[in-house]
Amino acid sequence: MVGFLRDVRSELRKITWPTRDELKKATIVIIVFVVALGVFIGLLDSFLQLVFVTLVAKLF
């Protein structure tokens, strides 16, 4: 178990962690993408609901 933890610690030291600036930029990109995708899905849902309600109203 101790050997495993040493290996984990050794591997974690090899990682190149992002700088604070890189992390900030990546976070902003992800937030913008998620918001844009949410808006797109919301608009698509509203449009499809309108289409189906209109179709059902015409059929019945």
For 55, what's the count of Cα atoms within 13 Å in the CB-facing half-sphere?
Answer: 6
Q: How confident is the model at residue 3 (pLDDT cuts 50, 70, 90)?
A: very high
What pLDDT does residue 59 have?
86
Q: Give residue-wise pLDDT tens across range 5-45.
A: 999 999 999 999 999 999 999 999 999 999 999 999 999 99
What's the CA gap between 45 and 41, in Å, rounded?
A: 6
- DSSP secondary structure string for all residues of the chain: -HHHHHHHHHHHHH--PPPHHHHHHHHHHHHHHHHHHHHHHHHHHHHHHHHHHHHHHHH-
- What global pTM score does this model have? 0.68
Q: Within a domain: residue 57?
A: yes
Q: Within a domain: residue 5?
A: no
Q: Within a domain: residue 6?
A: no
The parent domain of residue 52 ranges over 19-60
